[in-house]
A = this chain, B = another copy of it.
Amino acid sequence: MGGTPPLSPLAPANFPELPVINGVRFATIEAGVRYQGRQDVMLAELAPGSAVAGVFTQSATRSAAVLDCQSKISGHSNQGAAILVNSGNANAFTGRNGAEAVQAITNAVAKTLNLPEARVFTSSTGVIGESLPHDRIRNKLADLSGALSEGAIDQAAQAIMTTDTFPKGSSATVEVDGASVQIAGIAKGSGMIAPDMATMLVYIFTDAKVETSVLQSMVSALNDTTFNCITVDSDTSTSDTLLAAATGASGVEITENSVGFMEALRRVMLDLAHQVVRDGEGATKFVEIAVTGATSDADAKTHAMAIANSPLIKTAVAGEDPNWGRVVMAIGKSGAPADRDTLSISFGDISVARNGWVDPDYNEDEAAAYMKGQNLQIRVDLGLGGGKAKVWTCDLTHGYIEINADYRS
C-alpha cells in the first residue's frame, strides 16, 4: 500500500472540538477487518424516538449496505436505532454474499442493543470485490456495546477513515425559540490507494426533535448544494452514504419552517463537504467555481461541474496557470446553453474575459500571481439569465497519479 500518505497541505490545523449530542453514544474498536493496528469499526447508538434520514449514491452498482440502508430509511420506531460502520472493506460487488454479510451484522447489532433490525444502518468502505469478514465485526459487538460513551465522536471520525489524510468533523449551535440545539457531523472521503475505491461517508447528529420526513427533506435539499456540489475526479463511488440522526434530547421541536436550524445544518454539511475536497487525492489547491447568469440553476451547475471536472483546467490550476481558454472550452462542451459573446470570466476579482474576448485591462502577470494562492475562485457569468451555482474541487497533480497508478496493492 505504499505507506501512509502525507497530510494534505489543505488540511485544517486541527480537528474541531465537537459538542456532545445528547441521545447519541459512540464506540470504536480494532476488529482487523483489513487494517492492522488501528480502530476500524465504529458504532453509534441513537436514543429511542430518534429520527434518521439519509441520502445515498445513485450508482447502479451500489453496495449491499447502501441497498439495505435505502430500504430502511423511511421507517420509524420508538425503540431507538444504531449505525455501524467498518473501514477496510467496502462489501461492494460481492454478489449474494454481500447482502448476507449486511444481514448478519444488522441482526447481531439488533440483538446486542435490543433494537429492531429495521433500525440498524450499516456502511462499509474500503477494498471492493472481497467478501466482508463479518464474523470479525460480530465478535466485537459485546465489547463495542460496553464501551459506548457520549464523548467518543472524535474516535468515530478516525475509525471510518480509509486513506484519508485527516479526520473530518464540523458542528454548529443554533438558538431556536430561546433554546439551544446542537449539530455535530463527521465525514470521510477522497483518499484512495489502489485497489481501494473512495467512498464518502457522512454522519450528522443533532439533539433537535425533528420528524423523519422533515429531516429527510432537509438533508435531501441541502445535499444538492453541498455534497452534490463537490468533485475530486468525477468518479462516483459505489458506497456514498450520508445519514442524519435527530435524537430529540434537547426537547426543541424543529419544523420544516425552522430556517435557523436548516441554515446551521447547511453550514455543517458544507464544511464537511469542503473538508472532503481539501483531502482530495494529491490536492494542493482548493477551488471554488461560481457560475452566474445561466438560463437556470441546473444549467449553471452543469457548467460549473464541466469546469470542475475538466482535467485540462485541473492541471492548469496545479501549474498555477490562469488558463482561461480552457474555461471557455469547458463551458463549450458542457451541453448547457452558452453564448460566447455574452460570456465573462474572472479569477477571483481579476476580470480575464468579458463579452466573448479577453478583457482589455487583463494583466497576465497579476492573474499568474493570484493563481499561486492555495484557495482559488473561478467565476463565470454567462450573461443569459438568473441561474447560478457554486461547486468546489481541487487541482489534478502528480500526487493523484502517484496515489492511483504508482502504488500497486
Contact = CB atoms under 8 A, between A and B. Distances in A.
B329 A197 contact: yes
Nearest to A403: B315
B235 A194 contact: no
Interface stretch (A88-96, A176-184, A241-249): A88-96
B326 A197 contact: yes
A340 to B, nearest CB: 5
Contact of A328 (B129, B311, B397): B129
Contact of A332 (B62, B310, B343, B401): B62
A60 B331 contact: yes
Residue in A61, A92, A404 with the greatest tally of chain B CB atoms within 10 Å: A61
Contact of A194 (B127, B192, B316, B409): B316
B192 A312 contact: yes
A351 to B, nearest CB: 14
Contacts of A310: 234-235
A95 B333 contact: no
A396 interface: yes
Contact of A333 (B59, B93, B192, B405): B59
B325 A93 contact: yes
Given A129-B357, A323-B194, A324-B129, A329 B95 contact: no
A405 B321 contact: yes
Nearest to A192: B312
B340 A60 contact: yes
Contacts of A140: none
Contacts of A400: 311, 315, 401
Given A194-B321, A401-B398, A235 B60 contact: no
B60 A311 contact: no
Contacts of A407: 319
A386 interface: no
Contacts of A355: 95
Interface string A312-345: 1001101111011110111111101111110100
A233 interface: yes
Contacts of A161: none
A353 interface: yes
Given A61-B340, A61-B343, 9 more contacts: A60-B331, A93-B353, A94-B357, A97-B357, A129-B353, A197-B326, A238-B332, A319-B406, A319-B408
25 contacts: A57-B332, A59-B332, A60-B337, A61-B331, A61-B340, A61-B343, A93-B340, A128-B328, A129-B325, A129-B353, A129-B358, A194-B315, A194-B316, A197-B326, A233-B312, A234-B311, A236-B329, A238-B329, A238-B332, A312-B404, A315-B400, A319-B405, A321-B409, A397-B401, A401-B401
